[in-house]
Amino acid sequence: MRYQLCIIGAGPSGLLLGQLLARAGIDAVILEAKSADYVRSRIRAGVLETGLVDLLHRAGCGARLEAEGLVHHGFTLAFEGRSHRVDLAALTGGKSVVVYGQTEVTRDLMDARVATGAPTIYEAEDVTLHDFDGERPRVTYRKDGTTHEIACDFIVGCDGFHGVARRSIPEQSIKLFERVYGFGWLGLLADVPPVSDELIYCRHARGFALASMRSQTRSRYYIQVPLSDRVEDWSDAHFYEEFRRRLPQDAAARLVTGPSIEKSIAPLRSFVAEPLRFGRLFLAGDAGHIVPPTGAKGLNLAASDVHYLSAGLIEYYGEKSCAGLDAYSARALSRIWKAERFSWWMTSMLHLFPETGDFGARMQHAELDYIAGSPAASTTVAENYVGLPF
Ligand code: RFL
Ligand code: PHB
């Protein structure tokens, strides 16, 4: 089989790229290791920047988002018994974010792909990349016991942090930057009304907590936990008790509990691979970088990568120009590093780091107090949270 592009991974990066290219008349096959049901049911991000929302509209997948997404004009930073609302709209000239689950984004993109008739091969095993340092890259995979080969012009690794694409690049040709935090987020999803109309990020002496949501009737709550904890150790009752203790009092009083639909622990990590291109192989999304979720940037960064890369590919096929593709890695990385900085900074300010002791805690308080008292500092937070321009 021959396609112009072979995309590895049917997460949001791969599906969005595939959709933008399909609309431009470029044919791409997507190879995905898991089943469609598995991909659809993963619970992850929830906050979309307007850049991603615009891209979803351009991809023809914006209708449900428009109808069901919750537009948020602000969020709250809670610390030391105080609550400071970051008024996104007022501080950024009317900008906002949209709360709409990654699960729904994925579902909309999958439905759109089925409608275009573009091929996605689920449960593709042993996906292997060949000859991407030359003119004729190939990808082989196994499906139902048979080995298949795809010839293409370019391969795009949209296969997440644990994928095969980045690992296929020779070690000496890629530089990895990493910071691993010694804790994770335990997340719980439940059909209960959220404690607040807007998100609350809480710095608490017992550890970080975040009150988020998926809709007016579905809440997504998180607490910081040590990496040694296991999900099985946390009953729903235990989770709610700990979460309530970390919330501001007024929000705690509004907490409604109910059985969890999903509960999982995600370790926090900052990670960047440079460059995002090797020959005819490009990396996009989590395959090339990871942010800790405190800035709500993971999914949004995947979107800006896809924006730059799709533009480069459309230019390549339309105008026979390599300029956009040649600029891809540097353009994407320039935005990635700024989102890495913001996510690292929010994480550092809001989580419990026992190793930094009382001095570290005072620094966090001073930083939060400064934000609460300074329109300039609040504007910096707001500008980054709504997303820097593509
Ligand atoms: P994904 O979503 O990881 O999709 C990659 C896809 O590639 C497939 N794959 C392979 N396919 C073929 N062959 C192989 N060898 C393959 N190896 C892997 C995988 O099955 C998968 O379908 O990456 P993508 O598309 O770049 O999208 C990125 C976003 O998913 C990610 O940035 C965010 O979800 C990050 N993230 C969060 N971001 C937020 O903004 N807020 C959050 O609350 C939030 N929570 C999370 C997260 C990421 C998590 N991960 C990766 C463990 C919670 C978790 C648990
Ligand atoms: C979520 O709703 O899952 C969510 C929201 C904001 C974040 C991280 C996760 O910063």
**Catalytic residue (one of 141, 181, 293, 307):** 293
- What does the pLDDT read at residue 43? 86
**Catalytic residue (one of 73, 263, 289, 297):** 297
Domains 2-72+96-178+269-348 and 182-267+352-386 share a fold: no
163 to 9, 46, 61, 67, 116: CA distances (angstroms): 8, 23, 26, 34, 26
The residue among 299, 188, 283 whose CA lies nearest residue 239 is 188
Q: Which amino acid is at 9?
A: G
Our answer to whether residue 201 is catalytic in this structure is yes
C-alpha 336/C-alpha 302 separation (Å) is 9
Measured from the CB, is residue 46 less than 6 Å from ligand 2? yes
Contact between 339 and 47 (Cβ < 8 Å): no
C-alpha 256/C-alpha 258 separation (Å) is 7
Distance 188 CA to ligand 1 centre (A): 18
Contact between 318 and 194 (Cβ < 8 Å): no
Contact between 195 and 254 (Cβ < 8 Å): yes
The residue among 248, 249, 354, 342 whose CA lies nearest residue 295 is 342
C-alpha 175/C-alpha 45 separation (Å) is 27
Distance 286 CA to ligand 1 centre (A): 6
**Catalytic residue (one of 72, 73, 204, 289):** 72
Contact between 328 and 276 (Cβ < 8 Å): yes
Our answer to whether residue 72 is catalytic in this structure is yes
Q: Which amino acid is at 336?
A: I
CA dihedral in degrees (106, 15, 324, 295; nearest 10)?
Answer: 30
CA dihedral in degrees (259, 12, 389, 93; nearest 10)?
Answer: -30
Pocket test for ligand 2, best of 218, 220, 345, 384 (most atoms within 8 A of CB): 220
- Record the pTM: 0.97
Measured from the CB, is residue 194 less than 6 Å from ligand 2? no
Report the topology of domain 182-267+352-386. D-Amino Acid Oxidase; Chain A, domain 2 (3.30.9)
Instruction: Show the ligand 1 pocket: residues with CB < 6 angstroms.
Output: 8-14, 31-34, 39, 44-46, 102, 124, 127, 158-164, 266, 285-286, 293, 296-299, 302
C-alpha 110/C-alpha 104 separation (Å) is 10
Helix (H, G, I), strand (E, B) or coil at 313: helix
Q: Tell me the pLDDT of the chain (390 aa) as tens digits.
A: 999 999 999 999 999 999 999 999 999 999 999 999 999 988 888 999 999 999 999 999 999 999 999 999 999 999 999 999 999 999 999 999 999 999 999 999 999 999 999 999 999 999 999 999 999 999 999 999 999 999 999 999 999 999 999 999 999 999 999 999 999 999 999 999 999 999 999 999 999 999 999 999 999 999 999 999 999 999 999 999 999 999 999 999 999 999 999 999 999 999 999 999 999 999 999 999 999 999 999 999 999 999 999 999 999 999 999 999 999 999 999 999 999 999 999 999 999 999 999 999 999 999 999 999 999 999 999 999 999 999
Q: Please state the separation of Cα 143 from the chain's center in Å.
A: 29
Q: Please state the separation of Cα 77 from the chain's center in Å.
A: 21
Q: Whose CA is nearest to atom 47 of ligand 1?
A: 44
Helix (H, G, I), strand (E, B) or coil at 362: helix
Phi, psi of 34, deg, nearest 5: -95, 180
Ligand 1 nearest atom to the CA of residue 222, by list position: 43
Domain ranges in the chain are: 2-72+96-178+269-348, 182-267+352-386
Distance 376 CA to ligand 2 centre (A): 24
Tokens of 172: 């000496």
Angle, vertex CA 280, rays to CA 277 and CA 285, nearest 5? 45
Our answer to whether residue 240 is catalytic in this structure is no
Contact between 306 and 55 (Cβ < 8 Å): yes
Domain 2-72+96-178+269-348: give its CATH superfamily. Answer: FAD/NAD(P)-binding domain (3.50.50.60)
Phi, psi of 358, deg, nearest 5: -65, -35
